[in-house]
A and B are shown apart, each in its own frame.
Chain A
């Protein structure tokens, strides 16, 4: 499902070239879960962005859901992101001008799905996370935990093959964080979605089948 081989990535930081990833290899099977942990600035988000077709590696190959991301054109990658990937970000990244329901429907709107069926699907998802009555609320009217639950609904509305989560509980208190993780796991299981999450919280990481540590640009398995 996710197959990464020899991926390297460096950034130019002023006059210094920072090597962030140094030959990263990774495999995550369909329906499985994996967590990447590591200190801040270790390149966790960079790796996640590469897996999410939001960034390109300097070298190596990346295959996600059967698509070679390093050989695809940008327009094809946009379609791939919409069709096959779901993103959950640390700061929820909901669109403030749109209601909770509209936010959940947004990937479907980008895909050109009919509004009526999409609306029903999004409402069903909001109902599953206990926010059906908040469908008409704007993000600024919701709590942090509610926003993150809506972000999860948005990520899953098109039933993507892969869910990528970047510090999904990093901005929440422990109780809300626990609720969000439970929800993420429940919804993922129902759809047999592959999940890869990035966190620096060992407790969050330990909920995944596979835990990898990224340090010094290299990925090492901590447990499986």
Chain B
């Protein structure tokens, strides 16, 4: 054991002897334990929620989408870059596993009494993955449970789909309508079920809602990078005709809020660690004050200031490493326990899950430990610097006064 370790370890043991220093060092270790545990726990809770949210988001958002500006594709300047051309271009791109054409519009479902406003989604081959409906395209309607309940619809009923775009007839403009059977009723499981769309086969939807918004949803091969493929597609598409958006870009505001939330929670909880670091500085100052004469003697015997500084840096590390490690381990263990046994429940009609999920990420724990080390190191450096600046004669004189 070298000189620095020898002295630091002995001083660390001596902190048990003095009641004040013992109280302060216990407060330091306890504060750091609570602080790191709270940080790990808070980040695990956030990560758990955000992980579920992102999983939900990726289920409901295509990896890449190509949206056509100002109405349907193929009109005006888009003549040479028709929807089909773009779909073929996208399908031929390396890493793209599938292309699905969708049409978004607002319309009505009407029974004999009155119309009900609904979102209409025209789909090309199969319903989008976020609609929990198995199998191939169906010739009839797929109606959300919210609309079915409002209208009293059941599978097999026939309902009139009405478009806001009128068609010209010999007797003047008339609403475009079509009677279609209800083939399926679905429940999306989303919090905003009232906004779930009525799914209509694309062919029918195009006939009714010719002016609806067209979009191509791209499914990527496993491991393909949406950003890279998006950049590639942007180079081949006139931005006046269509825009390429990755799922991250489409949810930029939400992702920013998630990052902001994480940063704010981290900053707030990190204050506990900061306060514990002040306690560490106080503990080191008290140790230095009680060992002032001894530090002077060590300096008189030839211990260089830099080594005396290292003694107190190491002492600071010894005083803090136990608390921080214990807190980190306790926080991670508690988070794993709370997640495994779903101890904390939440109202399932408000949140996407009925319990508080925890996800301990190695990077989060590492960040917590790095921040704790930085805080405590700053406190230890201040304390250690005081030790290195002691004048041996003045320090030894303090033993007699």
Closest to A96 in B: B294
The verdict on A83 contacting B400 (CB below 8 Å), with A97-B14, A109-B6 known, is: no
Q: Which one of B174-182, B198-206, B302-310, B364-372 contacts A?
A: B302-310
Q: B93 CB to closest chain A CB, in angstroms?
A: 66
Closest to A154 in B: B301
B-contacting residues, A70-114, CB 8 Å: 74-75, 78-83, 85, 87, 89, 91, 93, 95-98, 106-107, 109-112
| Contact partner, A93, options B302, B303, B306, B399, Cβ 8 Å | B399
| Contact partner, B301, options A74, A82, A91, Cβ 8 Å | A82
The verdict on A95 contacting B297 (CB below 8 Å), with A54-B392, A54-B393 known, is: yes
The distance in angstroms between the C-alpha atoms of A111 and B301, with both chains bound, is 10
The distance in angstroms between the C-alpha atoms of A52 and B299, with both chains bound, is 11
Q: A210 CB to closest chain B CB, in angstroms?
A: 24
| Contact partner, A49, options B14, B306, B307, B393, Cβ 8 Å | B393
Chain B residues with Cβ below 8 Å from A96 are 294
B258 at the interface (CB under 8 A from A): no
User: From DSSP, what is the main secondary structure of chain A's interface residues?
Assistant: helix
The distance in angstroms between the C-alpha atoms of A87 and B392, with both chains bound, is 12
The verdict on A82 contacting B302 (CB below 8 Å), with A97-B10, A109-B6, A110-B3 known, is: yes
A55 at the interface (CB under 8 A from B): yes
With an 8 Å Cβ cutoff, the count of chain A residues facing the other chain is 29
The distance in angstroms between the C-alpha atoms of A83 and B3, with both chains bound, is 16
User: Is A91's CB under 8 angstroms from B392's CB?
Assistant: no
Closest to A166 in B: B396
Chain B 281-324, CB-CB to A under 8 Å as 1, else 0, gives 00000000000011001111111111100000000000000000
User: Is B303's CB under 8 angstroms from A110's CB?
Assistant: yes
With an 8 Å Cβ cutoff, the count of chain B residues facing the other chain is 26
Q: A104 CB to closest chain B CB, in angstroms?
A: 11
Q: A62 CB to closest chain B CB, in angstroms?
A: 15
User: Is B297's CB under 8 angstroms from A83's CB?
Assistant: no
The distance in angstroms between the C-alpha atoms of A170 and B360, with both chains bound, is 65
Chain A residues with Cβ below 8 Å from B20 are none
The distance in angstroms between the C-alpha atoms of A106 and B14, with both chains bound, is 18
Chain B 113-135, CB-CB to A under 8 Å as 1, else 0, gives 00000000000000000000000
Query: Which one of B6, B305, B307 has the highest number of Cβ atoms from chain A below 10 Å of its Cβ?
Result: B6
B59 at the interface (CB under 8 A from A): no
Q: B120 CB to closest chain A CB, in angstroms?
A: 82
The verdict on A109 contacting B304 (CB below 8 Å), with A93-B297, A93-B399 known, is: no
Closest to B291 in A: A97
Chain B residues with Cβ below 8 Å from A91 are 399-400
Chain A residues with Cβ below 8 Å from B392 are 54
User: Is A107's CB under 8 angstroms from B302's CB?
Assistant: yes
Closest to B6 in A: A109
Residues of B within 8 A of A (CB): 1-3, 6, 10-11, 13-14, 293-294, 297-307, 392-393, 396, 399-400
